[in-house]
Amino acid sequence: MVGNDIPFPMLSDQNGTIGKLYGVYDEDAGVNIRGRFLIDPEGIIQAAEVLSPPVGRNPAELLRQIKAFQHNQKTGEVMPSGWTEGGQTLKPTPAMAGKVWEVWQPPKE
């Protein structure tokens, strides 16, 4: 990577070997469809996004999701819709099931 400042592994899959495993290889075009997969330290896919070529990915959203998953792994808290770093999190309990709306409202734009 340019400048070697990416602190996580990235790869190129020129022959589609990995794309086929993840279901993003376009056999007709001979290329992988744009996609990204967030894989936790245990090797479990926690998030996936696959986009057709006309639509670009959003690096800010990727970073937001990485921070959210890291925060969850560290604290056990969950991030509600629209969460950003430093924002309100939720501590899941059985009593909260079906009642999240009592303690959290989506941000108003």
Q: How far apart are CA 54 and CA 83, in angstroms?
A: 27
Q: What is the value of pTM for the model shown?
A: 0.72
pLDDT at 67: 93
pLDDT digits (tens, 9 = 90+) for 27-64: 999 988 888 899 988 999 999 999 887 888 888 888 99
Domains delineated in the chain: 2-103 (3.40.30.10)
Q: Residue 2 pLDDT > 70, yes or no?
A: no
pLDDT classification of 70: cutoffs 50, 70, 90: very high
pLDDT classification of 1: cutoffs 50, 70, 90: very low
Q: How far apart are CA 72 and CA 84, in angstroms?
A: 13
